[in-house]
Amino acid sequence: MRLIISIITGIVLFACTAQPDNQTGPAEVDNNREQYLDWFKDSKFGMFIHWGPYSNLAGEWNGKQVPVGSNAEWIMKNLKIPVTEYRELAREMNPVEFNAREWVELAKSTGMKYIVITAKHHDGFAMYHSKVTPYNIVDWTQFKRDPLKELSDECREAGIKFCVYYSHREDWDHPGGYGNNWDYDNDWGSDLYHHEKFEKYLEEKAKPQLTELLTDYGPVGLVWFDRGMYTPEQGMDFVRLVNSLQPATLINGRVGHYNQEFIGDYQSTNDNGMPPGGLEEYWETPQTLNQTWGYSKFDKSWKSPETIICRLAEVVSRGGNYLLNIGPQGNGEIPDTTITIFRKAGDWMERNSESIYGTTANPFGELSWGYCTVKNNRLFLLIRDWPADGKLNIEGLQNQVKNAYPLSDVSSKLTVVKEGEITYVELPAKAPDHPLSVVVLEVEGAVKVSPRVVTPDAEGKAELNYLTADTKGEAKTRYNRKGGFHISKWRGPEDSVEWLINIDKPGKYQLKIDYAANSDWEGKEYEVKIGNHSYRKTVVSDGGYFNYREFPVGYIDIVESDIYTLTVRPMGEGEKYLMHLRSLSIEPVEKAKSHGWGVE
């Protein structure tokens, strides 16, 4: 490969003033925690349960409704129900139809491996026997039973991981909790984070309740925090508390503030979020069955079983877990429609769960016909759109295929033909299953796919982002609620990121880089290398972890069509991350007539 690149123009870096902020660097992490994630990564499918006094209200109070499309568990805040009044409403909770065995059986038969139940939601009411406050289902209502105790026992018996949701920052009942601004005067201005009332709430309610949950209910698979704690220190306090009580208990990413560096054991996406894939930190997406988490008698916008099955396959093929919600009624009954949908999804899982559990993500790009998962030397093709000509194309599989068969009929053999980059699988005329049929390819050795090559669009522009990035060393493709998808965790020259880009129109191009850097990351040096030309740059901060800005890198003259390697790496070692890199872009700046392209 011959490559001549020359710098045409100098490089301009915008000067900018770093804003002071209250964010600190990456939080301390126990490097051994990765081992605890194994069961979670294998499980793929969990049941979320939103259940509390709001379920009893079912989306209506005093003739006023929580509109469909809003979260019914937010009724107290949405309709500004006074604390004293909500407390009386909570007394009416009497879920006599609650049957822990049936709930656990429903999760299990649907193929779910863990259950996450709201131990305390934002309304502040404890759905278990808390000694911290009588405002709990055993002491406050006539029900007198502890549903979490019953559920945890049933889970253990059924081999399902019992997990709890705990609203740690938000509490509309406690005068120091976050969120109730209709009953309490909690407009604490700039001292919000460390206001003594908030600290009091944390110390006298949130932490003691979490301690109870991790002490009295046997092993807890994970704690699902929500709506992020204010400061990294406060978030880490909860992490440390959970770790000290039950080291193996996982912690979701919402324990920390969404704008800050990720803490916890795995990333929680936004509600109903569906990352495009390619993330190197494990993640889970919480999703609703209709448009609310807590039960609403008005919301009939149920997703179909087909949608649920396809979403499960989509999430798993993109490398995450699917936490699917149910909103039981106040009397403890699970709505019939929920059960019908779950049973159908469960039937599909019964036949096809081999393609879900213990798999890793689709190694190819987007597949027009469906989804793909991998387990050792097996590829599972979850086919949604059965090809009319009976031929399924897979591009970029490097291995030889030893054996191919439908998962529904492992003894029948399918013909596979390999032609260069394309592997063709000859399928039976009719799809054996619905809405996804699974075909298994057993390959020689570990699954290997051709490296991804970015192809510029018709105008010659290309964006290089986390999706097509090949990270090395400690550099990771990541997600943050505020910061979106980015590449970080790099501290030294071994931690780099690389792209392959097919530039087939020679000419002059401009290269730009889009990143964010915290103010104390400013001044670090990095290298951007394309082909054999290298640029040395200095990190400039726009004042925050996720205040992205685009900076020019330089101009390059590409005289030969080729596949070029573009690399970004920190120049020296350091404590701090280099940057949060969102993307690089390459764009032609003029049509180089002498190179014979782009003639009008």
Nearest to 421 by CA among 462, 364, 488: 364
Is the Cβ–Cβ distance between 441 and 404 less than 8 Å? yes
CB of 292 to ligand GLC, least distance (A): 9
Antiparallel, parallel or unpaired: β 497-503 and 484-488: unpaired
Angle at 14 between CA 10 and CA 18, to 5 degrees: 150
DSSP string, 186-227: ---GGGGGG-HHHHHHIIIIIHHHHHHHHHHSS--SEEEE-S
Rounded Cα–Cα distance for residues 84 and 73 (Å): 18
CB of 81 to ligand GLC, least distance (A): 15
Give the residue with the Cβ less far from ligand GLC, 293 or 521.
293
Give the residues lining the site for ligand GLC (CB under 6 A): 50, 71, 73-74, 226-227, 271, 286, 293
Give the residue with the Cβ less far from ligand GLC, 295 or 380.
295
Give the residue with the Cβ less far from ligand GLC, 78 or 398.
78
What are the phi and psi torsion angles at 365 (to 5°)?
Answer: -75, -165
Give the residue with the Cβ less far from ligand GLC, 226 or 433.
226
Give the residue with the Cβ less far from ligand GLC, 80 or 472.
80
**Distances, alpha carbon 209 to alpha carbons 76, 147, 162, in Å:** 21, 16, 17
CB of 167 to ligand GLC, least distance (A): 8
Give the residue with the Cβ less far from ligand GLC, 40 or 348.
40
In angstroms, the first-to-last Cα distance of the chain is: 29
The dihedral of CA 304, 305, 310, 315: what is its sign? positive
Tokens 């069961």 belong to residue: 39
Contacts of 131 (CB under 8 A, 6+ apart): 212
CB of 268 to ligand GLC, least distance (A): 7
DSSP reduced 3-state for 109: helix
Give the residue with the Cβ less far from ligand GLC, 220 or 407.
220
Give the residue with the Cβ less far from ligand GLC, 73 or 299.
73
Amino acid code (one letter) for 411: S
Angle, in degrees to the nearest 10, between helices 232-245 and 207-216: 20
CB of 226 to ligand GLC, least distance (A): 5
Give the residue with the Cβ less far from ligand GLC, 52 or 176.
52
CB of 150 to ligand GLC, least distance (A): 22
Tokens 């009416």 belong to residue: 92
Give the residue with the Cβ less far from ligand GLC, 71 or 249.
71
Tokens 């709001």 belong to residue: 54
Rounded Cα–Cα distance for residues 7 and 14 (Å): 19
Tokens of 537: 């740059």
CB of 55 to ligand GLC, least distance (A): 12
Give the residue with the Cβ less far from ligand GLC, 330 or 554.
330
Contacts of 433 (CB under 8 A, 6+ apart): 348, 351, 352, 408
DSSP string, 576-592: S---EEEEEEEEEEE--
Angle at 163 between CA 157 and CA 167, to 5 degrees: 150
CB of 50 to ligand GLC, least distance (A): 6
**Distances, alpha carbon 546 to alpha carbons 107, 478, 542, 565, in Å:** 38, 13, 9, 27
CB of 48 to ligand GLC, least distance (A): 7
CB of 285 to ligand GLC, least distance (A): 9
Count of helix runs (H) and strand runs (E) in the chain: 12, 29
Give the residue with the Cβ less far from ligand GLC, 71 or 130.
71
CB of 572 to ligand GLC, least distance (A): 41
Give the residue with the Cβ less far from ligand GLC, 250 or 404.
250
Give the residue with the Cβ less far from ligand GLC, 46 or 286.
286
CB of 106 to ligand GLC, least distance (A): 19
Rounded Cα–Cα distance for residues 463 and 378 (Å): 32
CB of 528 to ligand GLC, least distance (A): 38
Give the residue with the Cβ less far from ligand GLC, 270 or 450.
270
CB of 599 to ligand GLC, least distance (A): 54
Cα-based torsion angle of the residue sequence 252, 258, 262, 265 in order, rounded to the nearest 10 degrees: 0
Contacts of 441 (CB under 8 A, 6+ apart): 378, 379, 381, 397, 401, 403, 404, 416, 423, 425
CB of 254 to ligand GLC, least distance (A): 8
Tokens 């640029």 belong to residue: 535
State the residue number with the nearest CB to ligand GLC.
286
Angle at 128 between CA 122 and CA 130, to 5 degrees: 90
